[in-house]
Amino acid sequence: MDYSVLDFGALGNGSADDTAAIQAAIDACASAGGGRVVLPGGRTFRSGALALRSHMELHLEMGAVLKGSDRLSDYRLFGGDAPGKMAVPSYENCEYAGRPTHYFLCARDCEDLAITGLGRIDGNEAIFHGEATKWHIEGSFYPRAPLLFLENVSRLTIREVTLAASAFWTVHMVGCRDVLIDGIRILNDLRMANCDGIDPDHCQNVRIANCHIECADDCIVFKNTAHTMQYGPCENITVTNCTLTSTSAAIKFGSESEDGFRNIVIENCVISRSNRGISLQLRDGGNIENVSFQNLAIETRLFHPDVFWGNGEPIAVTVLPRKEGTKTGTVRNVRFSGIFCTAENGILLYAEEPGGISGVTFQDVSLRMRRATDYETGLHDLRPCAGPASTEKRSCWVYGKNASGIRFRDCSLLWDASMGPEPETPCRLEGCEDFRMEGG
């Protein structure tokens, strides 16, 4: 059964507060045992925070817009006071345990939930702005409101909708199981800090397919945050047929890594105009294992040398303590195959301690180094970490530290004249064991 929000008093004129009417439609649908809540096309509905329920589909018809309120107070639904402005910018320190104080759309402890349609959900990011430059917009406080916060949801579907103008993580899924995200668009401001695209956090059995994502910092980010350890690791996940643009990393693991990441496949994706292509970023105690990246095209360029993490690396695997005394996990059994990279920097495999990275294979990987910007390049970005923010030596095609059992098979390494003098060796290695280049 359909429940049109117009029948519950929504005006959809772009200025009236339709929060109560939309929530009434959602609650009526849930009370009847399920159905579809419809936002009709050709209208803009303004709303504060909404709570979604089990056995329902929120459907936005073509031309329908659900836009966040202009009042910050309308997003405070978890209770408590709003967090204050950070003492330092988020690119210097953005520790986050995974529990927001605000949100726009939320579902907790639900099953059989869908968000569908060819309409748009707009997070109204401008009301969360703090300091802004032509390269970077810092939020007025941290953490800010996710566009979708979905916790402990089973059988979740998000299909075809456009999600835009989020001021924080756009789709934050915590402890969700049996998830399908298919054909959505995420279009965020490439200057807005921390407006990640899709963040599976302690999630299992997730399929992400056919999506186009543009955002800062990262497009698709697997996380295991500290507040929700009861939901277990991120595992059994596929990402396929996506196009991605990011001011940090298009695909990232971490940096919140309190639990494990395993059995994850990323394939048939195109990464363009990104500050970093793939980043495996362990900073806490979890492990990354049994992960495959295949059939990818990666193009990186520097957005800004300071305000976004990454320094043009197409692939970066780093294992570093977040703070002094943190015991980190390990990266093992990871495969990169059939990947074409055009980048302003080389591949980075960097562990603070021996054994941090092992069993990584590069098969049929092409890396062409070329300049795309006028920013100074060559050093690798190590943030966030307890020590120096970057490596101290100029990179070549591959820089490895404390990595073992590494294989490059039938790979192609090309150096464009725009990069300056070609390095004398393809690899710079420190503390590495059983590191081989075979063929190519």
Count of CB atoms within 10 A of residue 28's CB? Answer: 15
Its sign, for the CA torsion 171, 345, 362, 339, is positive
Please identify which residue in the block is written with the tokens 């990595």: 403
Mean pLDDT of 398-406: 97
The stretch 262-283 carries a mean pLDDT of 98
CA distance 244 to 173: 19
Tokens of 341: 């990279």
Q: Which amino acid is at 165?
A: A
Instruction: Name every residue whose Cβ is closer than 8 Å to that of residue 179 and which is 6 or more positions away in sequence.
Output: 153, 156, 157, 173, 200, 203, 205, 206, 207
pLDDT the model gives residue 52:
98
- Could you tell me if 111 and 54 are in contact, meaning their C-beta atoms sit under 8 angstroms apart? yes
Integer Cα distance of 425 and 393 in angstroms: 14
Residue 334 has pLDDT above 80, yes or no: yes
pTM value surpassing 0.75: yes
Per-state percent for the chain, helix, strand, coil, to nearest 5? 10, 50, 45
74-118 confidence digits (pLDDT tens): 997 776 677 777 778 888 777 888 888 889 999 999 999 999 999
Q: Is the pLDDT of residue 271 over 90?
A: yes
- Give dist(CA 252, CA 288) in Å, integer: 11
For residues 179-184, give the mean pLDDT: 99
**What is the spatial distance between Cα 300 and Cα 277, in angstroms, rounded to a whole number?**
6
Q: To the nearest whole percent, how much of the chain has pLDDT over 70?
A: 99
